[in-house]
Amino acid sequence: MDTAQTIFIIFMAVSLSACAGIRAFLPPLAVSLLALSGHITLAPGFDWMGRWDVAAVFGLAAMLEIIADKYPGVDHALDAAGLVLKPAMGALLASSIITGMDPLTALCIGIIVGGGTAGIVHVGKAKVRLLSTGFTAGLANPLLSTLEDVGAAIWTVLAISLPYLTVLALIVGGVLIARLLSHRRAPRSGVSTGEA
């Protein structure tokens, strides 16, 4: 495998892992279906993801996650479980599609990059959900959940077809959020010292 193809696959792994931070089971379902159709090759040891019964389990889990996330209270329980589940899914996704290198290296990259990316995105999503609950007493959460469903579906398609674009969007979004947070924490200039 050439360098460009390896970079493409790593970018796809990062992008799908980010999506797993929003919906844990939708990206693994997509990878399973892609493997079944022969559009991607899974890494050694991950052939089981390319089976129909596994695709069916991911599909059922994705459907249950989408439905359960619409109920106030249940959505917060899902977010709490997601602190472990979503980084695990991100690591699984990334490790399963990184091919063309030493399997142990690919697994380590998958765990660090995939798990880390999914974890960061999930924490951000959970904080937005908490803010929504605080400001609307949970009334806006089902609408927010539906927007997350649509966003996750679109992001999954883009992560597979245009992973460079989705990684660029992740970087730009991260920079904007970091700048916003740094401006909020910066001390105000021109504070009166009480001197004449």
Separation between Cα atoms, residue 163 and residue 6, nearest integer Å: 12
Q: Give the span between the Cα atoms of 172 and 176, in whole angstroms.
A: 6
CB atoms within 10 A of CB 122: 24
Can you tell me the distance from the alpha carbon of 178 to that of 181, in angstroms, rounded to the nearest whole number?
5
Helix axes of 26-36 and 3-20: crossing angle, nearest 10 degrees:
140
More confident residue, 191 or 15: 15
Judge whether residue 195 has pLDDT over 50. Answer: no
Give whole-number Cα distances, 178 to 87, 153, 171, in Å. Answer: 21, 26, 10
How far the first Cα of the chain sits from its last, in Å, is 71
**7-51 confidence digits (pLDDT tens):** 888 899 999 999 999 999 999 999 999 999 999 999 988 999 999
Beta strands in 5-106 (DSSP E): none
Cα(142)–Cα(76) distance, integer angstroms: 12
Picking from 17, 4, 1, the residue whose alpha carbon sits closest to that of residue 166 is 17
pLDDT in tens, 151-181: 999 999 999 999 989 889 888 888 887 787 6
One-character DSSP codes across 64-82 = HHHHHTTSTTHHHHHHHHH
Judge whether 147 and 23 are in contact, CB under 8 Å: no
pTM of structure: 0.84
